[in-house]
Amino acid sequence: MINIVNVVGSGTLNVEIDLVALASDFPGEAKYDPKKYPGAYLKLNSDSVLITLYSSGKYIVSGADSIEEAKAIKDRFISTMADMGVITSRNEIPFSIQNIVFTSKLGKNLNLNSLAIALGLERVEYEPEQFPGLIFRPTDVDATLLVFANGKIVLTGLSDVETAREVYMKFETEIEQYLE
Tell me which residues of the chain have a pLDDT lower than 70.
180
Q: Do domains 9-98 and 106-178 have the same CATH topology?
A: yes
CB 147 within 8 A of CB 133: yes
What pLDDT was estimated at residue 68?
96
Task: Please report, for the chain, the start and end positions of each structural domain, with discontinuous segments joined by +.
Answer: 9-98, 106-178
64, amino acid identity: A
DSSP state of 73: H
Longest dimension (CA), the chain: 59
What pTM was estimated for this model as a whole? 0.89
Q: What is the CATH number of domain 9-98?
A: 3.30.310.10
Domain 106-178: top CATH class: alpha beta
DSSP state of 110: B
